[in-house]
Structure 1
Amino acid sequence: MPHHPAPNPAGLPPFPDREWARRAMTILQGDGRRSADTHLVNPSFRGLKGISIYLKDESTHPTGSLKHRLARSLFLYGICNGRILQGTTLVEASSGSTAVSEAYFAELLGLPFIAVMPRETSRQKVEAIERYGGRCHFVDQADQIYSTAAEIAENAGGYYLDQFTYAERATDWRGNNNIAESIFNQMAEEPHPQPRWVVMSAGTGGTAATLGRFIRYRNFDTRLCVADVEHSAFFDAYVSQDRGVKCATGSRIEGVGRPRVEPSFIPEVIDYMIKIPDVLSIAAMRVLSRRLFRRVGGSTGTNFFAQCWIADQMMKAGEEGSIVSLICDSGERYTSTYYNDDWLRARGMDVAPYCEILEDFLDTGSSFADLPQVSCPPANRIPM
């Protein structure tokens, strides 16, 4: 008769990592249910005849920014791939907002968290990370954050969350209540339910990738415009079709613009890009803040100026329709920088004349004049 080994009297082995992962997933799913959606704001600008502006207000997430969605997705990605376990030290390279959101989730799960950030990151963001129990490690050059974060994670035996690589793959771009699906669901009963344009500035490039893929997947007659900022490699890479482009100076608009082309930046799903001088981003930020009666951040100014620029082009062409973008975070994080006139003067930026031009445009529809050059791709540019 064949020999059968005696059964293990202790039974099957325990699976503590799986049990911890199950508890962690329950916690993350609970956060998702509580903060699943945000308002779609539709401010009225009487000068924009036939053009409706919408802004999805991501500043109302528990951690105050669009990056709350990304952080939750990165945690889900790490746990489901077996890379985040009980006690894992988490490390991230960030200009601030992503790290704030990740520190929040790390605290929920009882995990150590270290943020590697440029030294000039706003003090309000640093304080928020520390309030959630995270630690901050500062570097002097923006392009040092990647290698420093990877080194700290390796030395700690931890996990580098790496938003710049995993942002575009950690989010289900086909739907599953991602930001793109939410926008189009909220637009369903509006006068122009399919936006003529969706506008997004690029930090990791992941949100733009999600939007572009979802638009194509659902076969919408909508175009995606990505707005880049002054000190950033994205626009030049889009135009030159060279992912090796670098920018020696770090972005002054926190949360967007990068010194290199990040892995999550997917130019093939972008219909158009423009590059906006920082002074216009900040002017647009201040104008929109006055119109909404509350402060928004600098990257929202980038988005809003791009919306105004596209609206101007559409009105010149006699087109009507809706243009949708995001309020990325609150301006309260930037009281010592973008809302500080001394800070702006020290950097040679006088936003007052451009605020007046934008106010006049929103009230009367008068076309832009006397603005610093907005860079546009050549007409014959083909996708990378």
Structure 2
Amino acid sequence: MGEGVVPLVEVDQSGHAERPWVVEAIRRLKADQQRSADTHLHAVRMPAFDDVDLYLKDESTHPTGSLKHRLARSLFLYGLCSGLIQEGTHVVEASSGSTAVSEAFFAHLLGLPFTAVMARTTSPSKIALIEREGGRCVLVDDPASVYDVARGLADESGGHYLDQFTYAERATDWRGNNNIAESIFDQLSMERFPEPTWVVVGAGTGGTSATIGRFVRYRGLSTRLCVVDPENSAFLAAFRDPTCGETTCGSRIEGIGRPRAEPSFLPDLVDRMIQVPDAASVAAVHFLRARIGQLAGPSTGTALYAATKLACDMRAAGEAGSIVTLLCDDGVRYLETYFSDSWVAAQGWDLTPYLEVLTRAWDDGVWTG
């Protein structure tokens, strides 16, 4: 070695023993994507609307029965490709239910232990689905504590906290790669209004609205994004003022609405927000079931109620176009709650006025809400 030359310091970790396992895990996730990535886009006829088309993107047909199948797969891929998940890693999540159901499925697929931390009010059917996949459920009384409890469990076990509320907006490739936005626009390509006037979604993490909002801008489209929020959720306040830091008691509509504005919610990508009464959300899924025979979860009702309002606004303005919203999950999970007359009555919800609003809107094109 030449005089004055400082030798290189080399640390070679290229032979990581876990690399073959990670490669195989990623292959399994990609295989699931090949089998189940796309879902149906249903055209829904509203009698009073000749020039406004409504579509439901049916995410309930994923193997785990909800929109969250996409997110869960993305979170696992993100963890694997970032070196955060290895063979035997204990995977932990804070979830109100559907995300945890999907994550339990993928943890089982990869042979990983999984724990979901969720509010004690989560429906028993969702808990049963998680446990069926071999997951463990930790129930807490305070919904706002799920983040800290989940993070603590991961730290104690040397595991990985998936943290959907932080990573949802960055784990999904918003440019395309068969994400939900690309799927929607591809499926609309042969329709009479292939570029929708509105896409209407709820916010649980904010990841779906972030993906769609970014995709629309990336493709240079004029489509507007409407995010719906249930009562007692903090997202609407954050949309009005991103610096407000307002916290709430949380939503009674499972799957959307949060006691705080989550890091993955990007309000600058949203064109309009509509807060929907809880009774209206529930009435809308009862209405959907009666009108087209589709059984959907309550977050679908939140979006459907707002989408109907937007359709009436377009009709009143003489505007033609299309509206797309999501059928987020299957209503079978809620037969003992949101579809139970006694349970609904116990919540103090009167669905009748909102059913009348929807009937008048669909049949006459007039919004009376």
Q: TM-score, normalised by structure 2?
A: 0.95
The equivalent residue for 2:224 is 223
Counterpart CA distance in 2 for 1:165 and 1:17 is 26
| Superposed CA offset, 1:156-201 (max 9, x none) | 1100000000000000111111100000000001000000011011
- Paired residues for 1:1-384 under 5 Å: 14-247=15-248, 249-365=249-365, 367-369=366-368, 371=369
Q: State the alpha-carbon separation in 1 of the partners of residues 290 and 327 from structure 2.
A: 14
1:350: how far off?
1.0
SS in 1 for 2:18: helix
Matched residue type, 1:320: A
2:326 is paired with a residue whose SS is: strand
Structure 1 window deviating more from structure 2 (288-297 vs 225-234): it is: 288-297
SS of the residue 1:16 aligns to: coil
Relative to structure 1, the CA distance from residue 81 to residue 354 in structure 2 (aligned partners, 3 Å threshold; closer, same or farther) is same
Separation (CA, whole Å) in 1 of partners of 2:52 and 2:127:
39
Larger mean CA deviation between 349-358 and 110-119 belongs to 349-358
Give the match's secondary structure for 1:314.
helix
SS of the residue corresponding to residue 256 of structure 2 reads coil
Q: Deviations over 1:16-54 (max 9, x none)?
A: 211100110110010000001000000111112311000
Question: How far 1:357 sits from its partner (Å)?
Answer: 2.5
| Aligned 8 A contact 1:141 1:250 in 2 | no
Aligned-residue offset at 1:145: 0.4
Q: 1:94 offset after TM fit, Å? A: 0.3
Secondary structure, aligned partner of 2:44: coil
> Is the alpha carbon distance of 1:320 and 1:148 closer, same or farther for their aligned partners in structure 2, counting shifts above 3 Å?
same
- 1:320–1:73: structure 2 CA closer, same or farther, 3 Å change rule? same
Q: Deviations over 1:65-112 (max 9, x none)?
A: 000000000000000000000000000000000000000000000000
Contact 2:360 2:367 in 1 (8 A): no
- Structure 1 CA distance for aligned equivalents of residues 47 and 219 of structure 2: 32
The answer for the alignment partner of 1:380 in structure 2 is none
CA distance in 1, matches of 2:335, 2:100: 19
**Cα pair 1:314 1:320 within 8 Å, conserved:** yes
Conserved? CA contact 1:112–1:134, under 8 Å: yes
CA contact (8 A) 2:69 2:102 kept: yes
**Residue type of the partner of 2:363?**
D
Relative to structure 1, is the Cα distance of residues 157 and 193 closer, same or farther in structure 2, using a 3 angstrom cutoff? Answer: same
Is the 1:243–1:261 contact (alpha carbons within 8 Å) kept by the matching residues of 2? no
The letter for the 2-side match of 1:163 is: Q
Aligned CA RMSD, in angstroms, stands at: 1.4
> More displaced, 258-267 or 234-243?
234-243
Deviation of 1:304 (Å): 0.5
Q: Quickly say closer, same or farther: Cα 1:318–1:105, change in 2 above 3 A.
A: same
Q: Is the 1:281–1:299 Cα contact (8 Å) retained in structure 2?
A: yes
Residue 289 of structure 1, CA deviation: 1.9
Instruction: Give unpaired runs (5+ residues) of structure 1.
Output: 3-10, 372-384
Helix, strand or coil for the counterpart of 1:76? helix
Letter in 2 for 1:316: A
**In structure 1, distance between residues paired with 2:178 and 2:84:** 24
Change in Cα spacing, 1:16 to 1:197, as seen in structure 2 (3 Å) is same
User: How many percent identity over aligned positions?
Assistant: 56
SS in 2 for 1:242: coil
> 1: distance between equivalents of 2:13 and 2:235?
52
TM-score normalised to structure 1 length: 0.91
Offset at 1:14?
A: 4.3
* CA positional deviation for 1:342: 1.2
Output the amino acid matched with 2:312.
D
Q: 1:243 to 1:162 in 2, by over 3 A?
A: farther
> 1: distance between equivalents of 2:285 and 2:111?
36
Mapped to 2, the partners of 1:264 and 1:75 lie a distance apart of 17
Distance (Å, rounded) in 2 between the aligned partners of 1:13 and 1:185: 41
Instruction: Give aligned pairs, total.
Output: 360
1:240-286 per-residue CA deviation (whole Å, 9 max, x = no partner) reads 33251111x22110000000010000011111111111011111111
CA distance in 2, matches of 1:340, 1:50: 36
- The structural deviation recorded for 1:364 is 2.0
Q: What is the SS of the residue equivalent to 2:118?
A: strand
User: Mind listing any 5+ residue stretches in structure 2 that lack a counterpart?
Assistant: 3-11
* Equivalent position amino acid for 1:290 in 2: A
Whole-angstrom distance in 1 between the partners of 2:250 and 2:103: 22
Distance 1:352 1:328 in 2: 24
Cα deviation, residue 310, structure 1? 0.5
